Amino acid sequence: MPGVEDGVGLTALMVAAARAIETHRPDALAADTYAEHFVRAAEASAAWPVRPAQVPDGDANPLWGRLGRYFGLRTRVLDDFLIRSVREGARQVVLLGAGLDTRAFRFGWPPGRVVYEIDRDGVLAFKHHVLDDLAAVPATTRRPIAADLREDWARSLLNTGFDPAVPTAWLAEGLLLYLPSAAERRLIDTVDRLSAGGSTLGFEVKLWTESPQVRAGPVYVATRQQIGVDLLALFDGEPRPDSVGRLRELGWSTAIHTPFDFTRHHGRGPLPEPNDALASNRWVFADKPGA
């Protein structure tokens, strides 16, 4: 289906497959019962594994073992971030580059919360098709918005009922790596402009350009060979802006973590290894004071 079986849309299916596998692990970090339905509904991914027993070589598989566990850990950490933000006062949630995220359906939301999902029209259309077939009902008010995050998406968000005077939890999961640097700078400034005091932002970045040895490593090679997704070709090649520094300039407090911090916290997940494709990844959590 156009929009979900091309480029970045395929990465959304890859993450959905990883979440499906994670869901069926005996020591699952996160559960998403909708994920496998997305994988099976798309022709490009219909034969991908959705359960641990279907993964060749199990956890030794660089794609569905190590990278898949990374996505499971990331899901859990960002689930916890959103749940905490909402409990502490955020009344709106904006999922930037929502992809096949189903948090509006699988969380137990407090009353009165609104979840905005921003992504390309093709991805949202595929998502709606699958969820409608499942007769899935969101657990809170959900407002999908078809918009390109490289362009003026703020107007569409405001026109859909978003209130910039209300504390908001923003999430950019697996997004910024694919945006041109100018679009990332605009996104950070737009989030700040639309954020009331007490708002939060969670996002993922790579802190440095990876060496040729890392780029020739097993995670990238296995992803290309097993499912035909060349992550390195999809990542934007421009030097990345200092989004953490920009948020600090704007008065936000920030905390930066490696994925391995949470592996140690939860007692499961990926650990460092030589020429590691995950070594430069950071998860950033920011808070805007003044609520």
According to the model, what pLDDT value does residue 1 have? 47
Determine contact, residues 119/97, Cβ cutoff 8 Å: yes
User: Residue range 30-54: average pLDDT?
Assistant: 97
Distance CA 105, CA 116 (A): 12
Residue 43 lies in a domain: no
For residue 172, give the DSSP letter. E
What is the per-residue pLDDT across 49-68, written as a single tens digit (0 to 9) for each? 999 999 999 999 999 999 99
Residue 10 lies in a domain: no
In the chain, % of residues over pLDDT 90: 93
Residue 229 lies in a domain: yes
Is the pLDDT at 144 greater than 60? The verdict is yes
- Give the domain range for residue 150: 88-287
Distance CA 278, CA 282 (A): 9
What is the per-residue pLDDT across 217-229, written as a single tens digit (0 to 9) for each? 999 999 999 999 9
Residue 49 lies in a domain: no
According to the model, what pLDDT value does residue 34 have? 98
Q: Tally the domains of the chain.
A: 1
According to the model, what pLDDT value does residue 8 have? 64
Residue 30 lies in a domain: no
Distance CA 237, CA 251 (A): 29
Determine contact, residues 200/90, Cβ cutoff 8 Å: yes
According to the model, what pLDDT value does residue 3 have? 56
According to the model, what pLDDT value does residue 238 have? 87
What is the per-residue pLDDT across 177-205, written as a single tens digit (0 to 9) for each? 999 999 999 999 999 999 999 999 999 99
Domain containing residue 204: CATH number: 3.40.50.150
Distance CA 276, CA 68 (A): 15
Is the pLDDT at 216 greater than 50? The verdict is yes
Residue 25 lies in a domain: no
User: Residue range 171-180: average pLDDT?
Assistant: 95
Residue 218 lies in a domain: yes
User: What's the per-residue H, E or C state across 33-90?
Assistant: CCHHHHHHHCHHHCCCCCCHHHCCCHHHCHHHHHHHHHHHHHHHHHHHHHHHHHHCCC
Is the pLDDT at 85 greater than 60? The verdict is yes
Residue 51 lies in a domain: no
